[in-house]
Amino acid sequence: MDPKAQKQALEKARALEKAGQADAAVKLFRDAGALEDAARVLGATKGPRDAGRLLFESLRVLPAQVGQLDAAGKKRALMAAIFFGKAGENELAVQLFMGLGEQGRAVELLQRSGDQVGAARLASTKPGQYERGPLLAKPGVSAVGGKAISVISAQKLEEQGKHQAALDAYMQLRRPADAARVAETLGRGGDAAQLYADAGMPAEAAAAYLSAGDTGKALDNLTRVQREDPRYRTAAAQAVRLATNLGVLDFRLEHFLGAYIKSGPQDTTEFQVFDLLAKLYLAHGFPENAREALEKLVQKEPGFPGAHEQLAELNERLRPSAMVARQVLSDADLHKRTTHQKAALPDLGDLPGLPEPATMLRHDLAMVRKVTGPVQPAAHSPAQELIPEAELLIDEAPAAPGKIGEKFALGGIIAGRYRLDRKIGQGGMASVFRAWDLELEENVALKVFGVQLASEVLIARFKQELKMSRQLMHPNIIRLYDIGVHEGHRYISMELLVGKSLKEQMEKPIEFPAALDFLVQACSGLQAAHDAGVVHRDVKPDNFFVTDDGVLKVMDFGIAKQYAAPGVTVVGSIAGTPLYMSPEQIGNFSTVTHLTDLYALGICAYEMFTGSLPFTHDELVPLLMMHVNTPPEPPARRNPGIPPELDAAILRLLEKDPARRFQSCRELGQALSAIRGRYSA
């Protein structure tokens, strides 16, 4: 069909659709090649199953192969998966989601359908493990060639050169490492690679995949080599070269390279690897990481060609600006605190009108030294003391109020895909809208950032939030879907939640067991992040969302860090929310561990159960000094109804020394669950 005829057919199909002649409209849409429109009409009339089948059958591939399609094919496969999910054909929907790398959507589908066990099992599946390959033996077979098998008989078959029989025997015995060795002998490199991966031998799997020419799976397996493995450095160097050739940089690779980068290059070969790594980071918009790699390189090899010049250029490029320092301090609203009141248990009561805790991104070495240095007798600042102007990690001030509204009016179509239905949230840096995804036909939340021409660092943080959050699949972590730009403003599409933030929940009485349950859920979500190597670094009630079903979701990983991995943090920076900052976050923000999140969670708990914060001050520097030096008043003194076990748990979370706190959110969650069980029985 020529373009003119196609256009006429589409116009006629839309007219037929409006007239209620669905079958005729579907036929015309199909004839014009507009299968997505045909599926949309089918889904609304015949049902989602027919719509899904139309889309999937047009692809002419197996579910596991949809990831190899072009962008248009992947889009069609994703729509098919969503339709199948709506139709209750979960198995096929999950296969398609997994084939597309949309593990989070697959997990959510199983959760919504009530299959919590299947969802948990799928969530724990690592990439590449969902499809285990063609060599898996069928269950129930216990013999090869009519004879019973054992390890000895399999070894004899191998020694006799009966490699196919030996391979079958090893597969029967579930000995993938032995089976992989035999598969290599048979020249079946792809099967050998998969078997090595199944055996938990990533270095061998990577080598086999390379021999088979599958560089993507080779890279994926290289990133699974443990740091304790003597082949770790070799694997890291090889991973950098492969990633450079493939032009890829993802969360798993960054986390894997953390220890490698931290130790710096060790020999001439690794000098070249660090140079490649810097270029890789730059190509993906992470200049801070590139600078870190170059700094390590020039420390070990000052004369490496071009390294000094490139490092000097990056230092100049990343030099922070102080343009919006006073705006951020104003946003923090640290000069407008109200008197804090106490609440009683079991109902926590109304919390006081606490200021909106704004997240700050500040770079000021002098302030860090002042806060964390020795405390002088007269160090408490008079009210007239000026806070030294801070240099910020963002170069541009937020867009003036109303400008976003003009470009993102309700009813408008964003990026040709999202229709804005309602504004549901507003923060210091971004607005959040309820939107309808026209392509996938589902409701989403659209987070639109007010900064129009973002700095390199802000762009890096923006990308980091998406990369990290897409990797974190857990019922207590919000799901992020996509990233884009519209009219100069960056946006993120994410899971649409209905409910209130924990901060809003705390404005009304919360029953004691419910408050503990919220904290336990927060522990569960944060533990999943920590297990993935991610520290949130901005834990506060505003970044927890409670749905109408009572499910708590951890949100906003915008300043999160992959611990033991390079980040986008400027040395000497302070980032986070002053009311909830840990001492180590103030003193050495770039090297904090997951224990900083536990401290902030302790502040949240203190606030929930006393109606007040442990540390408050009208000025920023004294407030930060209190986190570093001042012991908190026991929460039970402010609210005598707090059980002794909970009082002790909160104080333990607020220890200045991270080693004296709970050492994991898992441990804390277990302690809180025990308290909840004891006092809610």
Average pLDDT over residues 106-121: 76
φ and ψ of 308, to 5 deg: -60, -45
pLDDT band for position 283 (cuts 50, 70, 90): confident
Asked whether the beta carbons of 99 and 65 are under 8 A apart, the reply is yes
The three-state (H, E, C) secondary structure of 559-620, written as one string: CCEECCCCCCCCCCEEEECHHHCCHHHHHCHHHCCCHHHHHHHHHHHHHHHHCCCCCCCCCH
| Each residue's pLDDT tens digit, 216-259 | 889 988 988 888 889 999 999 999 999 999 888 865 687 688 88
DSSP for 499-553? EEEHHHHTTS--BHHHHHHHHHHHHHHHHHHHHTTEE-S--SGGGEEEETTS-EE
> Looking at per-residue confidence, does 313 or 429 come out higher?
313
Per-residue pLDDT, 466: 60
Say which range, 129-143, 433-447, 510-524, has the weakest mean pLDDT.
129-143
Say which range, 45-49, 346-350, 451-455, has the weakest mean pLDDT.
346-350
Q: Which alpha helices (H) appear in 264-346, and where do they start and end? A: 268-283, 287-300, 307-317, 325-332
Per-residue pLDDT, 330: 38
| Each residue's pLDDT tens digit, 15-41 | 888 888 888 888 888 888 888 888 888
The overall average pLDDT reported for the chain is 76
| Each residue's pLDDT tens digit, 371-410 | 545 433 333 333 222 222 222 222 233 334 445 556 778 8
Asked whether the beta carbons of 453 and 434 are under 8 A apart, the reply is no
Asked whether the beta carbons of 556 and 462 are under 8 A apart, the reply is no
> Looking at per-residue confidence, does 397 or 275 come out higher?
275
Share of the chain above pLDDT 70, in %: 74
Minimal CA–CA distance to 364: which of 62, 593, 172, 574?
Answer: 574
Per-residue pLDDT, 405: 57
Average pLDDT over residues 618-633: 86
pLDDT band for position 545 (cuts 50, 70, 90): very high
| Each residue's pLDDT tens digit, 191-219 | 888 888 878 889 999 999 998 888 888 99
Say which range, 372-386, 600-614, 618-632, 656-670, has the weakest mean pLDDT.
372-386
Per-residue pLDDT, 576: 58
Average pLDDT over residues 102-116: 81
* All domains in the chain, ordered by first residue: 3-123 (1.25.40.10), 143-317 (1.25.40), 403-494 (3.30.200.20), 499-680 (1.10.510.10)
Per-residue pLDDT, 321: 37
Say which range, 237-241, 288-292, 303-307, 352-356, has the weakest mean pLDDT.
352-356
Asked whether the beta carbons of 526 and 536 are under 8 A apart, the reply is yes
| Each residue's pLDDT tens digit, 484-506 | 778 778 888 888 888 888 999 88
Reply yes or no on whether 178 is catalytic: no
Catalytic residue, from 331, 517, 538, 542: name it: 538
Alpha-carbon distances of 304 from 275, 295, 296, 466, rounded to whole Å: 9, 11, 11, 34
CA atoms within 13 A on the CB side of 639: 30
pLDDT above 70 (res 144): no
DSSP character for 130?
S
| Each residue's pLDDT tens digit, 49-75 | 888 888 988 887 778 888 888 888 898
Alpha-carbon distances of 678 from 645, 667, 672, rounded to whole Å: 10, 17, 10
Say which range, 278-282, 470-474, 644-648, has the weakest mean pLDDT.
470-474
Per-residue pLDDT, 130: 54
Per-residue pLDDT, 313: 87
Say which range, 73-87, 176-190, 402-416, 634-648, has the weakest mean pLDDT.
402-416
Per-residue pLDDT, 148: 52
pLDDT band for position 270 (cuts 50, 70, 90): very high
Strand (E) or helix (H) holding 183: helix 176-185
> Looking at per-residue confidence, does 130 or 234 come out higher?
234
pLDDT above 50 (res 337): no
pLDDT above 60 (res 92): yes
- CA 218/CA 214 separation, integer angstroms: 6
- CA 296/CA 288 separation, integer angstroms: 13
Per-residue pLDDT, 105: 86
Residue type, 572: G
DSSP character for 170?
H
Per-residue pLDDT, 398: 38
- CA 231/CA 239 separation, integer angstroms: 12
Helix (H, G, I), strand (E, B) or coil at 479: coil
Structure tokens at 65: 């192969």
Strand ranges (E), 403-488: 413-414, 418-426, 430-437, 442-449, 480-486
Helix (H, G, I), strand (E, B) or coil at 407: helix
Per-residue pLDDT, 660: 93
| Each residue's pLDDT tens digit, 2-16 | 788 888 888 888 888
Average pLDDT over residues 511-525: 91
Per-residue pLDDT, 207: 93
